[in-house]
Amino acid sequence: MTNAHKDALFVLVKSLSKSEKRQFKLYVGRLGVNTDAKFLALFNLLDKVKRYDEKVILDSGIVKKSQLSNLKAHLYKQILVSLRLNPVNQNVRVQLREQLDFATILYQKGLYKQSLKILDKAKYAAIENEEKNIAYEIVELEKIIETQYITRSIPDRADELAVQAKQLSEQNVMTSRLSNLSLQLYGLMLKVGYVRNDEDLKKVKAYFKKQLPKYTIEDFGFREKLWLYKAHLWYSFLIQDFLSCYKYANKWVGLFYENEKMIQLNPVFYLKGNHYLLESLFFVKYSSQFKVTLQRLEAMVESKNFPKNDNITSLSFLYINANRLNLHFLEGTFYKGLYLVKIIEYGINKHKDRLDAHHIMILYYKIACLYFGNGDNKNCILYLKKIIENKNLKMREDLMCFARVLSLVAHYEAGMDYHLELQLKSTYKFLMKMNDLHAVQKEMIKFLRNLGNIYPSELRSEFQKLYTELKKYENHPYEKRAFLYLDILSWLESHLEGKPVAQIIREKSKKLTR
């Protein structure tokens, strides 16, 4: 039996809105012969059932087992054709592809002049909207047609098309190299997180220097600049240069406000750029600018002109709520952020088919930190458990490492230390396996391991020793990453000063307000 979450057709049917389902039925019903079509009957059945079950389909009598695979493929194709015709999906990119298809059909019919007329208009629209891959395809088809449709202007036309093809090819190659570099750096970030030592730093620097192509920024259009800034952003994140992250994320977002029509055409890149800008502001603790940026993003997403589709809705949910949590972390207002937990849990369930495990884990970690800051250690442990029990270690290993360390601290704070020694050994073993045992983690594990031998009267002095030791690493180029995942120093200060950790963070935030 096929799993519902793995059956592509079932997932596609369940993703359709009421208006999309209505349009599909109108689309297939445009010819009377489709009214009783088997694929429409299958669509209606899948629309009604809550989970995919092949036996239910076969028992319905719609189709024989030997025909089911072909029928499903046909239905899948018909749904996609219907969605393509939906005005909601008719963005510039789809319209350009459609014009290219029309021109190809006219060319095949020998109507060269009509084909060239469509291609000429589509080409300049493609260049204007930074769709240079499509523009290149158009020029290539123009070249083919020009060899068959002879005019007196063919010598000049040949030179013009040759120059255009060369320029577009060079621009597309540059974009491809920059996007490849950006993707590789992003993949490295997901795999291991920030650089952990001098060896990591040398490798990343050498790779970036080798792969970054030579360029002249004045020759770049919107698309080339976008990928250049993305590559620099991921490089800056990897080496923990957060001021540089802010610089390039700001340039990225600035591109969209300088070319506002690009927000309509590339809403996903607009959302991602704002997310990384907010993340950079969070790391440099620039709370006032963080608020302004978040409010501007929320206003744009809510505006009637901002594109709306399932993917954009899912990403908007992810980025806006993750950064709403970050704002509460910045200001130490953990209790005010508790309302977000239900919103996020509902959103994860609603968008689960479009959110990857990596981003869901990040949301769980942030919720765990929210509960920890609010003094609710049991709920903190509950959410950390979701991460720790995730066996896919290929994703964000550093996040999983710090989830285990925070879990140890939360167990101690909750008084659930009866299995602490076992957890300490497990965490130590895990960190060694990940090659991620650093000074901050060593000191934390050493402190927690010795708790059983410390008299209550000595506890404060032990907290002070740990604080003094860890304070040395606050600005260390590699060790400081521990404080990005868990504000250990504020936790220690809360014990030393006898104040809740949230109050300590609020007091720090007021001093840093700018």
Residue 351: Cβ within 10 Å count? 19
In a domain, 240, yes or no: no
Q: Provide the number of structural domains found in the chain.
A: 1
In a domain, 62, yes or no: yes
Give the pair of three-digit tokens for residue 138: 């158009």
Q: Provide the b/e sequence for 111-129 (b: ≥16 CB within 10 Å).
A: ebeebbebbeebbebbbeb
In a domain, 77, yes or no: yes
What's the domain range around 26?
8-89
In a domain, 73, yes or no: yes
Q: How far apart are CA 192 and CA 180, in angstroms?
A: 19
> Please, is 506 exposed, middle or buried when counting C-beta atoms within 10 Å of its C-beta (0-12, 13-18, 19+)?
middle
In a domain, 477, yes or no: no
In a domain, 12, yes or no: yes
Contact 371, 377 (CB under 8 A): yes
Give the pair of three-digit tokens for residue 402: 């710090």
Q: Which residue has the tokens 């990005």?
A: 484
Residues 6+ apart with CB under 8 A from 339: none
pTM of the model as a whole: 0.82
In a domain, 330, yes or no: no
Helices (H) and strands (E) in the chain, counts: 26, 0
Q: Which residue has the tokens 């014009």?
A: 99
Tens-digit pLDDT profile for the chain (514 aa)?
344 457 899 989 988 888 889 989 888 877 655 556 888 889 999 999 988 988 899 888 888 888 899 999 999 999 998 888 877 667 888 899 999 999 999 999 989 889 999 999 999 999 999 999 999 999 999 998 888 776 555 667 888 889 999 999 999 999 999 999 999 998 888 776 678 788 888 989 999 999 999 999 998 999 999 999 999 999 999 998 999 999 999 999 999 999 998 998 899 999 999 999 999 999 888 988 999 999 999 999 999 989 888 889 999 999 999 999 999 998 889 999 999 999 999 999 999 888 888 889 999 999 999 999 998 999 999 999 998 887 765 555 667 777 888 888 888 888 876 666 667 777 766 766 665 557 777 777 777 777 667 776 777 888 888 888 888 888 888 777 777 766 788 888 888 888 888 888 888 777 765 4
Contact 119, 105 (CB under 8 A): no
